[in-house]
Amino acid sequence: MSATRRSADKFALQVMIGLCLIWGVQQVMIKWAAPDIAPVMQAAGRSGISALLVGLLICWKGGWDQVGHTWRGGLLAGALFGLEFFFISEGLQLTTAAHMSVFLYTAPIFTALGVHWLLPSERLRPVQWLGIFLAFVGIAIAFAGGVSWDNLDHRMLLGDALGVLAGASWGATTVVVRASRLSEAPVTLTLFYQLIVGFVGLLLIAILSGQVTHVSLTSVAVASVLFQGLVVSFFSYLTWFWLLRRYLAANLAVFSFMTPLFGVTFGVMLLGEDLSLNFVAGAVLVLLGITFVSAEQWVRRRLRKALGQH
């Protein structure tokens, strides 16, 4: 299969722009609907809707026969997936959607560190270590965007920290998938594990924390949950997996970094969020670092070309 994958073309770029728009607006939708429905309930609702749809898709195309030897990795991946959206849900109540969009997409950094230790074939190269260094410097600078020594914003700092934890959980989920038998399972089954376990875990958290009562079926609340469940968790994720089977992952990874840029833009335009200079500078370093980590071969080719080497 890998031999048939090709470099991203115009069609792939157009699809990736659409996917990044969807993913970028997701945090804004959650925060926009938060007064009507608790973010953790939004996450549980979206996971439940998309788990049902993916389960029906598996019934149609097959894949249940692999549950017997993949369920352990599936439960762990699902727990980490649910943890990711718990951190996102709680973090969005403390920080801005723009901040969450950037910190969440530190996930490739944690994935790279995880596979470095677990998979000998994927050791980090010097360029990737440089990317990790730049990303963590960027995180530190971006965190300073929530700091005013005259009026320390503890809530924003905690929300930003939860955003980084969400990125770490996402990265750990990817490591589990790649280092377990899930790497050989159908993508629909892998996605189902994450959605169904996430749904149960998030709903339990909502019940235990009393957030299950924070639900008003307004048009905004319903639109947010349906958008996340149908468009984000079902349509966009399956489209992303379809692209990964046809195009080089490194090429697609470069395009996917448009997502936090869209997230920041939507946060400013739709929610009226403010951006500090520290946060903007830090976000640029984070995105640059992630680019070096996730697309190391692409970066090396570009550097050689810039230096006139062949």
User: What CA–CA distance (Å, rounded) separates 177 from 36?
Assistant: 35
Residue 289 contacts residue 134 (beta carbons within 8 Å) = yes
Burial 183-193 (b: 16+ CB within 10 A, else e): eebbbbbbbbb
Residue 172 contacts residue 110 (beta carbons within 8 Å) = yes
Domain assignments of the chain as residue spans, ordered by start: 2-306
Task: Considering only residues 18 and 155, tell me which one the structure prediction assigns the higher pLDDT.
Answer: 18
User: What CA–CA distance (Å, rounded) separates 257 from 120?
Assistant: 27
Q: Is the pLDDT of residue 304 over 60?
A: no
User: What CA–CA distance (Å, rounded) separates 242 from 83?
Assistant: 25
Residue 105 contacts residue 24 (beta carbons within 8 Å) = no
**Length of the chain counted residue by residue:** 310
Helical spans, DSSP H, in the chain: 10-33, 39-61, 71-91, 97-104, 107-118, 126-143, 154-179, 187-209, 219-226, 237-244, 249-256, 258-271, 277-294, 296-306
Each residue's pLDDT tens digit, 123-159: 777 877 888 888 888 888 877 655 544 555 678 889 9
Token code pair at residue 247: 């195009």
3-state helix/strand/coil string of 248-289:
CHHHHHHHHCHHHHHHHHHHHHHHCCCCCHHHHHHHHHHHHH
Predicted pLDDT at 1: 40
Burial class (CB in 10 A: 0-12, 13-18, 19+), 144: middle
For residue 309, is it left (φ>0), alpha (ψ between -120 and 50) or beta?
A: beta
Token code pair at residue 62: 């097959």
* Confidence band of 310 (pLDDT split at 50, 70, 90): very low
User: What CA–CA distance (Å, rounded) separates 75 from 214?
Assistant: 28
Residue 24 contacts residue 262 (beta carbons within 8 Å) = yes
Amino acid at 149: W
User: What pTM, to 2 d.p., does this model score?
Assistant: 0.85
Query: Which of 4-8, 78-82, 255-259, 267-271 has the highest mean predicted lDDT (pLDDT)?
Result: 78-82
Each residue's pLDDT tens digit, 211-269: 988 889 899 999 999 999 999 999 999 998 888 777 766 667 667 778 888 888 899 88
User: What CA–CA distance (Å, rounded) separates 107 from 93?
Assistant: 21
